[in-house]
Amino acid sequence: MNPGFAYALAAYAMWGLFPLFFRLLRDVPAAEVLMHRVVWSVAVIALVLAALRRWRWIGAATTSPGVVTRYGASALLIAVNWYVYIWSTQNGHVIDASLGYFITPLFSVLLGRYVLGERPRPMQWLAIGIAAAGVVWLGVQSGHVPWIGLVLAVSFSGYGLAKKTAPLGAIEGLAFETALLFPLAVAGLLWLAHDGHDTLATGDARSSALLVASGPLTAVALLLFAAGARRVSLATLGLLQYVTPTLQLAIGVLVFQEPFGGRALAGYALIWAALALYVAEGLMRSRMVATSAVVQ
C-alpha cells in the first residue's frame, strides 16, 4: 500500500471514530472538552516542533499582521467546528454531524466560486443543486433547519479555504492557530478551576485521562493527514474524505441507535446521489487531463 494512502486513510478513520471517544466525555461540558483539546494539542505539537527543530517561522509569522489575521480566522473556524462536533456527539446528534462532512466538499466548491473566483463545471453545479434539495428536504421533514450539519460544513470548508491560502506549512500552521487559541483555553480552564468545576481537579481519573488524551489524538490525526496529503493526489484525498462521515453515520445508527430511516433516508439519498455525481465528474475530469497530458 502507498504509505501516503495509508496515512490519509488512518487520519480519516480516526476522525470517523471520534464520536466513540467524545461520547465517553458526555458528562463533561463541551466547552471544557474543547479547552482541554486545545491545551493538550498545543503541548503535543510543541514536542513535534522541538523534535523537528522547526522554530524559525515563529518570528516572521508573529510580526506579520496579515499572517496573524489569517490564522486568527482559521483558529476561530476550527474552534467553532470542534465545539459543535463535540456537543453533537455528546448529545445524540452523530448522524446530524455526519451530514456536515458529507456536504463539506460541495460547500468548498461554492466558496471557491464566490471567494476565489473559480468556475464550477456544469456537473458540479448540478451536484450542488441536488445536495441542496436534500438539505431542504431534511429541514422540512424534521421541522427545523439542520443547523448542526450546516455549521460543521460551513466552518470546515471555510477552514479549508483559509488553509489553502495560508503561507505556513501544515504543522507550523496548526501550531500557530492552536497557539492563538491557547491563552483563551487556559483562561477558561483557570476560571473553571476557580469555581471548582474543573474536571481534572474534581472529576474521576477516567475523565481526566480522556481529557488529556484528546490532545494527542487530535494532533496524531492531523499529522497523519498532513503526511498523507503530501504523498497522494487530490483526487485520492477527495475520495478518502468520505470515510469519515460514513463511519460517523454507521456509529450513529448502529452503535448509538439514533433514529434514521423513512423521510430522513430520502434526504440523505439525494445528498449521496449528489456526492456520487460530484466524485464521478471529478474522476472523469482527472482521466481526461491525464490522457491529454500523455497525448501531448
Average pLDDT over residues 53-58: 86
User: For residue range 215-237, what is the model confidence (pLDDT) as tens digits?
Assistant: 999 988 888 887 787 777 666 77
- The pair phi, psi for residue 66, each rounded to 5°, is -65, -40
Average pLDDT over residues 251-274: 86
Residue-range definition of the domain harbouring residue 138:
3-295
Closest CA to 32 of 208, 220, 154: 208
pLDDT for 5:
84
SS3 294: helix
SS3 241: coil
> What's the mean per-residue pLDDT of the chain?
86
**Quick check: 1 pLDDT over 60?**
no
pLDDT for 40:
94
In contact, 129 and 294? CB cutoff 8 Å: no
Q: Classify residue 203 by burial, with Cβ atoms within 10 Å: 0-12, 13-18, 19+.
A: middle
**Quick check: 39 pLDDT over 90?**
yes
User: For residue range 184-223, what is the model confidence (pLDDT) as tens digits?
Assistant: 999 999 999 888 778 877 778 888 999 999 999 998 888 8
Average pLDDT over residues 30-39: 94
Composition of the chain by helix, strand, coil, percent to 5? 80, 0, 20
User: For residue range 126-146, what is the model confidence (pLDDT) as tens digits?
Assistant: 888 888 888 888 888 777 788
- The pair phi, psi for residue 53, each rounded to 5°, is 55, 50
Number of separate domains in the chain: 1
DSSP 167: S
